[in-house]
């Protein structure tokens, strides 16, 4: 339910393009699709970020419960390398 503001504009727009009756209308809608998607996102932007955060929170809570039950999986080697590199960076919020 939290991802509905993300999915609904995309679904309406894609169904409009797929169900357009004339080939020339379908072609013109197809060429304008990136701009229409961008406009749809801007319209739902006040709901987009909270919906994404809510979806992330729902998924993360389920993952945290799974990790408490089964234990955390080991980090992949590329992630370990990035973590080692970023540990050297100063923590901007904690300057002495």
The domain containing residue 44 runs over which residues? 4-89
Q: pTM score > 0.85 for this model?
A: no
Mean pLDDT, contiguous 10-residue spans, the chain (96 residues):
68 72 72 77 77 82 86 83 75 58
**In a domain? residue 94:** no
Q: Taking Cα atoms as reference points, which of 40, 44, 55, 47 lies closest to residue 2?
A: 55
**In a domain? residue 57:** yes
According to the model, what pLDDT value does residue 91 have? 62
According to the model, what pLDDT value does residue 42 have? 80
SS3 3: coil
**Tokens in use for 94?**
């904690």
According to the model, what pLDDT value does residue 96 have? 53
According to the model, what pLDDT value does residue 95 have? 55
**In a domain? residue 95:** no
**In a domain? residue 50:** yes
Whole-number Å distance between alpha carbons of 23 and 13 = 16
- Domains identified in the chain, total number: 1
**In a domain? residue 46:** yes
According to the model, what pLDDT value does residue 17 have? 66
**In a domain? residue 96:** no
């Amino acid at each position: 339910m939290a991802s509905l503001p993300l999915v609904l504009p995309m679904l309406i727009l894609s169904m409009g393009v797929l169900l357009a009756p004339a080939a020339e209308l379908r072609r013109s809608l197809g060429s304008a699709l990136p701009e229409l998607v961008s406009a749809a996102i801007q319209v739902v932007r006040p709901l987009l970020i909270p919906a994404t955060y809510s979806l992330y929170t729902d998924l993360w809570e389920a993952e945290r419960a799974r990790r408490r039950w089964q234990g955390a999986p080991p980090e992949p080697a590329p992630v370990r390398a990035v973590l080692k590199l970023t540990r050297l960076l100063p923590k901007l919020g904690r300057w002495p």
